Structure 1
Amino acid sequence: MEIITLPVTAFAQNCRIVICKQTRQAAVVDPGGDAEKIIAELAKHALNLQCILLTHGHLDHVGAAKVLAEHFAVDIVGPQQDELFWFDALPMQAQMFGFAPVTPFYPQHWLNHGDIFPLGELRFEIRHCPGHTPGHIVFYEAEHKIVLVGDVIFKGSVGRTDFPKGDAQQLLNSIKQQILTLPDETRILSGHGPDTKVVTERISNPFISGKYG
């Protein structure tokens, strides 16, 4: 597996290009914006884009999804269907976050907890992690010990829960049950900020230990 990280938008959101080394098939995970930058990176590496994968419906994670899907004639896949209201609310999100106006669009395929999503020879297990948003999912690739977590957990922090349908206790439950149960050396690739590891967050994340929140 290869992963290219492209910070996009004013929120420095970590858009990831995930690549199967054997097949050169690729997926773009959480393209929040800057579509031309993402298109140029895909062309630079001569990648065969298969789909757009979304962890949740916040605009800084999905803003370029429709443009990329149409440009490459690929599907938008994920998140879980409880996230539908955030896609309905894309125009409101654009106004709230200071993005250019956007019309609602929707994934072609929703994903559910326990699904396995293939990309070339990679296999991503879908884990439903509500709390930051109700339909938030993460993508776990066991062989390579990598989990793409969107805004569930960050290095030394956790996702916000003050948006509509956010739930702080639900988020902590998701982290403890779906993230911290992964092998210690699993790399956590978050939607913002640096990467971390499961063992690091289990030991030192103050929100999980109960020091804060």
Structure 2
Amino acid sequence: MSNGNSGVEERPVVRTDAGGVTTLTLNRPRQFNAMSEEVLAALQAELDAIATDATVRVVVIAANGRAFSAGHDLKQMRANPRQEYYDALFATCSRMMLTVHRLPQPVIAKVQGLATAAGCQLVAACDLAIAADTAQFATSGIRVGLFCSTPAVPVSRNMGRKRALELLLTSSTPRPRPTGGSSTAPCPRTNWTRPCSNWRTTSSASPRPRWHRARPCSTASSSWGWRTRTPTPARSWRAT
């Protein structure tokens, strides 16, 4: 007799929709939600669909199991030891991360466990992050003689330079710390869904055009020079 949940259990990413909030759940718990080709393809397909879906106001990226994501699927990579395979894989991953970054809707990472390498990159690519007190972050490539060069980009933009280098060069696994209201401040695992629910409620209740304009404005403000970014808020509120 088949299990009624077998279809869900076999899907690498599970999508649920409720009240304008779409949750994408990484669903390879036995593999610590490693980002296989199938996971990357499923995330890309869902994100592409969400980008043009006016009913979706907020996106949450979560994970089943003990880990948020252990990064790339090293077992799959070792089975395909060809440079062209690696080039295609990293290009696919980069495209998915950029899609998260460019999505019209705000994206919240809901981190319950270890997020390492590309898993840490995915959290950093999101607009907001809520972390349980069981969450840990690492860029562990350095342990095997590699450098997490692609995760380094969003991680460095989310942290101070020295703190980012500490993470990148030592592969330490810090837990989230309360730092003046930082969105990665730890929440007790028993009550950690409340902040995420509050953000989802606020975001989904706001008019969609506001978020559509606010996200690119915020991104530009963090990367452009003062003279360039000062006129941006006025331009962002022009009628579309």
Please confirm whether the aligned pair reaches a TM-score higher than 0.5, indicating the same fold: no
TM-score, structure 2 length as denominator? Answer: 0.32
TM-score, structure 1 length as denominator? Answer: 0.35
Considering fraction of residues, name the structure with more strand: 1
For the pair shown, which has the larger CA radius of gyration, 1 or 2?
2
Considering fraction of residues, name the structure with more helix: 2
